Amino acid sequence: MSKNDFYKKLEDVVRTGKAPYVIESGQGAYLTINGKKKLNFCSSHYLGFAEDQRLKTAVKKAVEKYGVGTGYRTLAGTHTLHLELEEAIAKFKGTEASVVFSSAYMANAAAIQTIIGKEDIVISDELNHASIIDAVRLSGVKNKFIYKHADTSDLEEKLKEAQKVQKAPKSDGEEPLILIVTDGVFSMDGDLAPLPGIVRLAEKYKALTMVDDAHGEGVLGKGGRGVVDHYGLVGKIDIEIGSLSKAFSVIGGFIAGNRTLIGYYNLKARQRLFSIAPTIPDTAASLEAIRILQKSDAAVKKLWENVNYVRNEFKKLGFDTGNSQTPITPVMLGSDEVAKEFSTRLFDEGVFATPIVFPMVAKGAARIRVIPSASQSRKDLDVGIKAFEKIGRQLGVIK
């Protein structure tokens, strides 16, 4: 392929792509898009921290004292705030230690690539997030098993197959490691991984467990401590991945777990060794968000009040909201075209809620993914509910 043909191929893709909406305001209960106010009904700023004055003040104080930039953790980038944040995360999660990264995507990559070699074994839920899929690819592991979504019976079958593979020692003579990987909350449907069953099987087959809890932090468990706490399994999961960009409304991710394991990641994770540490503003804001949740669960309670209200109202109207157990509320529409048209009409009604279509979900499973926020009032929620009712009737989705 010539250079001209290569760029022509890229142009064809770019031309047919859709430019994203540009946000001209903070990520609060409402957004400003094209100069107009829109109800924010689909972002994952669950607790409303994106515009919380306490986080703003913490950032201002930290920047005044320390500036903005950091550096490589292994050279001159480890700051006292990073150590405070890692200690706070470990305490919050109930683990021995934690290590932070510039994103949860990087944390997932580090968690798998650092401990899994080509001759080890990974068993993954079929609906795991793209960052987990990419992390497994990055590790170069040859022995990969995919189990049916949230199906512990199928997981056990895959573990039995993995045990057979495990009988053949690696080239260095060691026994292959088995790692079970799952999302904690599945972001498209809002359902939960069956962690109690996964832990039971992991113990039975002597496998390590890893949970990506990006959409569980600040949402599930006591005071928002996540899906592991929700199930009462603190200390039973080997590797917990968390995101600071969802409920905490900042940028960053972390791995939490056993002190020895975290020490190994500190020394060996390439995503830590060769990438810049989180900035001073991001670190200070994350630290403040965790401190807020350690002091009070008010924001978490408000979030769930809003979620339950919206979901109940949608069900009364006749919308299919799936089987979500989290604030992620999918309004199932089936057709990609209907979902896109529904979203466009919502936008015209002053409600921002983007369509989720193929390939993000399977064909025939298009939906609008609604996520209320703790920052929204009952009046705000009613704006969104009324818009959904109006358009649902217009498009024949509800009667």
Catalytic residue among 246, 286, 343, 373: 246
Q: What is the DSSP letter of 12?
A: H
User: Could you check whether the bond before residue 359 is cis, i.e. omega within 30 degrees of 0?
Assistant: yes
Q: Is-catalytic flag, 373?
A: no
Classify residue 251 as left (phi > 0), alpha (psi -120 to 50) or beta: beta
β-pair type (36-40, 30-33): antiparallel
Alpha carbons 141 and 132: distance in angstroms, whole number: 13
Whole-Å CA distances, 129 to 198, 214, 360 = 18, 10, 10
β-pair type (208-212, 178-183): parallel
Q: Is-catalytic flag, 170?
A: no
Whole-Å CA distances, 200 to 111, 155, 195, 206, 217 = 22, 11, 8, 10, 23
Catalytic residue among 102, 103, 187, 373: 187
Whole-Å CA distances, 2 to 9, 14, 36 = 11, 19, 45
DSSP string, 92-148: HHTSSEEEEES-HHHHHHHHHHTT--TTSEEEEETT--HHHHHHHHHHT-SEEEEE-
Alpha carbons 96 and 272: distance in angstroms, whole number: 19
Q: Is-catalytic flag, 149?
A: no
DSSP string, 175-197: PPPEEEEEESB-TTT--B--HHH
Classify residue 44 as left (phi > 0), alpha (psi -120 to 50) or beta: alpha
Catalytic residue among 215, 302, 373, 375: 215
Catalytic positions are 187, 215, 246
